[in-house]
Structure 1
C-alpha cells in the first residue's frame, strides 16, 4: 500500500509539472519597423506543439545585430537592411543557406498636414526633423543617403535641425506628437500615424532599395521549431499579412 501511495504521488507530481511545462522556445530578433506585421505572423503560425513559445525582440536592426554578436539568444534575425545581416555573416553568426530577402519597403516624409513641404529641397525651411540614428537604424541610414543625394544633409546637420531617434517608431512618434516638424519613416510606419500624414515619398533613385533580409542563426538552424517557422514565413499566408501592412513581399 505504501509503495502504491508513493507511485501515485510521483504520478501526480509529474502531471502537475507537465501542466506548467513549456515546449520549445523560439527567439526571434526583428527590426522595429516590422513590429505589427510580425506580431500577426507569429499569431498566424499554426505550430505543432501548443506549448511552444515564440519570443520576439523588436528593436533597431543594428542594436539587434550587436546583441546577437554579443551572445543574446536568437534563432531568427530579421533586418531592415542587408548591412547588419552582413555584419552577422562576417561574424559567422548566421546560417548562410537560409539568408534571403523576403520583403521591401519605401521611405516617406511625414508631418502635420499643411506643413508647407512637398520635396526634399524644402526641408531646410523646417526647424526640427526626426530620423533614426544612422549608425544603427536603417531608416536613418536611408534618410541620410537621400538627404546627401539632395545636397541638404550637411546644412541640416550644421544647423542642428536633425533629431536622432533610437528607431524608426520613435521618429514616427516625434512627428505624430508634433514634437518635430517632420520625420523620415517607412511607408508602412506612416500607415500607423494618428496625426501625422505623408507629405511626400522620397524619390527611389536617392537611396538604396529598402529590403528586409532574414536568416536563421547558426544555433537556430539546429532547432526544429525555428526551421518550421522560417519555412512558414515563405508561405502565401505570410505574403498576405505583409501586404496588409504595406510591405511588398519578395517574389
Structure 2
C-alpha cells in the first residue's frame, strides 16, 4: 500500500510541475486543401521555436470543413478559400468575429495537357471535359462558375464539367489526362503540374478575388496557444513563407 501511495505522490508532483504548453492538447487546424504545403511549412517552423506545441491539421474543401466544425469536429483555427464558409460559421456563432482577417490571396487559372490551343474563356467550348471543384463546397469551383457566367459561356459548357471533391482532385484529373483541363489555383498548378501546365489565367474581373480568410473558432479564441499561433500566421515571417509558395499577401 505504501509503495502505491508513493507512486501516486510522484505522479501528482510531476503534474504540478508540467508547463501549460506540456499540458495543452495539440492545436486543431481546419484548412483549405490548396494551403496544405504552406501551412505544413508554417507549423513545422513554429514548432521548432515553440517546444511542446503540436498540430492536428485537417485539409479539405472549405465547405466540407465548415460543416465538420458545425457538427462538432475539433478546430481552433479555420482558414477557408473564400469568405462564404467563414460567414457560414460566423452566422452560427462558431467563430470569433473579432479575429477574422485575410491570410493570403491567389489566382484562378486553367491548367491542362490538351494539345488544343486554349488561351481564354471563349475557347473552352471546343474542349471535351473540364474539371472543377464541386461548387457546393469548393470555392475554386464557385469562382469558376462565377467566371463562366460573367464570360457568357456557362450554357456552352453544359455536360462538359467534371466535379471534383476539392481543387487538388481537379488538378489530378488534369495531370492524369482524364480531362482536357481544370480550373485550379495558380499555386496548385505550379506545385503539382508536371504534364498539365497553366494555359491561361482567369481575369479577376470575372470573379471575386481569390481570398483566404481565417478566424479563430469560438473554442480556439479561449486558448492562449491558439491565439499566439494565430498571431504568428499574420507575421512578416509567415508572409515570407506564403510568398515563397506563390501566394500574394496584399
Aligned residues: 244
- 1:86-115 C-alpha deviation (Å, 9 max, x unpaired): 111111110011001121100000011643
2:152 corresponds to 1:151: yes
Q: Match for residue 203 of structure 2?
A: 203
Is 1:130 aligned to residue 131 of structure 2? yes
For residues 209-240 of structure 1, give each alpha carbon's deviation from its aligned partner in whole angstroms, at most 9, with x where no partner exists: 00110000011100111111101101111101
* 1:17-28 equivalences in 2 (<5 Å): 23-28=24-29
Partner in structure 2 of residue 140 of structure 1: 141
Q: Using a 3 Å threshold, how does the CA distance of structure 1 residues 121 and 27 change in structure 2: closer, same or farther?
A: same
Instruction: With the length of structure 2 as denominator, give the TM-score of the two structures.
Output: 0.91
| Structure 2 portions without partners, runs of 5+ | none
**2:28 match: secondary structure:** strand
2:179 matches 1:164: no
Given the alignment of the two structures, is residue 213 of structure 1 paired with residue 213 of structure 2, yes or no?
yes
Contact in 2 for aligned 1:78/1:213 (Cα 8 Å): yes
Deviations 1:154-208 (A, max 9, x none): 2212xx1100000000000000011100000000101121211000011111011
CA distance in 1, matches of 2:211, 2:39: 15
The match for 1:68 is 69
The alpha carbon displacement at 1:81 in A equals 0.4
In 2, Cα distance between equivalents of 1:9 and 1:98? 45
Distance 1:191 1:10, change over 3 A: same
Contact 2:32 2:61 in 1 (8 A): yes
TM-score (norm 1): 0.90
C-alpha spacing 1:48/1:237, structure 2 compared with 1 (3 Å): closer
Asked if the contact 1:22/1:53 (under 8 Å) is kept, the reply is no
**What is the match of residue 121 of structure 1?**
122
Structure 1 outlier segments of 4+, above 2 Å? 5-18, 21-24, 46-52
Gaps of 5+ in 1: none
Shift of 1:136: 0.8
